[in-house]
Every structure is written in C-alpha cells, then in structure tokens.
Structure 1
Amino acid sequence: MLKLSNAVELADWEIQITQIRAQGAGGQNVNKVASAVHLRFDILHSTLPPFYKERLMATSDQRISKDGVIVIKGQSYRTFEQNKEDALNRLRALIQQAVKPEKARRPTRPTKSSQRRRVDNKTRRGEVKSLRGKVKI
C-alpha cells in the first residue's frame, strides 16, 4: 500500500516491481553486481481519482509514456529492498509534484514604502555625485 495523501492510496497490485541483477558498466569495479529495480505503474488502469490521472498525463516528464505508463529505473549497489523503497519514493514524489496546485503569484507592483525608499536613494546618490570633485578641504 503506497499512501499518497490522506484520501489517496495505491494498492500493491497497481505497482509492478521487477528485480534485475545488472553488471557494472566497467571501470575499476567490473565484478560488482548491482541490484536494479524497474518500477512500472499504469496511470489509466489505476484507482487514482480522475483529477490525478489528468494532471499526471499532462505532466511533461520523460518517465511518463504517451499511453500512461510510468517507468522508474533504479540501480545502485544496495539491496533490493532499499532500491524498491527508493523507486516507490520517486513515484510518490512524481505524483505529488504533478498534482499539487500552483501557488498564487505575488503581485509584482512594489509597495509605496519601497518606491519611496528607491526615490530617496536615487536623490541622495545624485547629490553625492554632484558634490564629487567640488569639495576641497
């Protein structure tokens, strides 16, 4: 059971996790064997609410295919359980990122006090520049 929020959970049968033993890509540790995990999640055939499905399908992420399948590949020199947990966390983060509402933007107009401060600073700078070279001690 993968919990996404208070109301939304994914059942275990919706997430397919395949364990793959992968050989290292060469280099110094040629004989090291990594535990790779391929996580597959079908958006369209899942129990997600329709709003979640729409937002996920509209997300521009290379892990989401056109037919609504999310594939997350993880490989590292850790145990299968650690890689599985990492892949599930990545899936959770991807779904939450796609679903969370965008924040309202701040108004871009400066406040009265900041406008006043800018004008004061500009006039002071002008006064200082005009005095340069003229004051002799």
Structure 2
Amino acid sequence: MTSAHQLALNEEIVRELYTCIQANRADRFEALVSTEHVDHSNGRHGPAGFAAAVANLHNAYSNFRIELETVVAADDLVVIQWHETGLHTGQFFNLKPTNQPFEARGLNMYRLAHGKIVDSWIAVDPKTFRAQQLAQATLRDAT
C-alpha cells in the first residue's frame, strides 16, 4: 500500500504537470515525466512526447486554458478530470481552424514510479470533436 506521503507527492507531481501544460513549459517536462514514459492513448512517449502534444494544443487554441475539476490519487495512480477551453485558431490534427470557442472535457490517468510519470491514458469526450467537425462542415457549406 502507498503511504499518505507518497500519494500526496504523486498528486503534486501531476498537478505540476498541468501547471506546465497550461503555461506551455516544455522545459519542465523532463523533471516530471520519465524518459521511459509510455502514453497508451496517443503513442507519444517520454518528455518529448508531452512537449509535442502540448505544443499542438497551444498552436491550435488561442487563450488555451485547462482546469482540473477532480483529482484522485490511489496507490501509484493519479486520475484527473479536466475541462479545457480556448479559441480554435490553428490546425488541430484533421480539424481546420473554426475561429470559434472550443471546450472539451476528459479524464487522464497517470502511473508514477520513482517520482515521475511512467504511464498515461487519455479519454476525451468524443462529442467535442464531432461538434467541431460539424461546425467545419457547416462553414464549408456556407461558403
């Protein structure tokens, strides 16, 4: 069983990760994410994988904000329920900019070992992306 001190430390590490995501501080990911990190959801690994994912978010969404709604730490896991917002002004994967407000919710789970994140899983509400795709189709049809 994980001690209360270790649970608090794991939670603090993940909270710091989100502070760095919000501020687009890729230089801090090496202190928080193991070089052995595996992202089981999007195939990006290690601190560089986090940096690339966060850069994509900040390039696609002006005024990007992410808020932690729920944080649960148990054993070597920390689960985050989050809410992000921004203005969709750049390309995000296959989604062209809509110049419309963007909002998404999701859950991420992290496994930590030796004070660093070693595994992560991401679940984003799929309605978010369907709504953006519909908005793009509507914009295309209007032109």
Say whether the fold is shared (TM-score over 0.5): no
Instruction: Kindly name which structure, 1 or 2, has the bigger radius of gyration based on alpha carbons.
Output: 1
Q: TM-score normalized by structure 1? A: 0.30
Which of the two has greater strand per residue? 2
Q: TM-score normalized by structure 2? A: 0.29
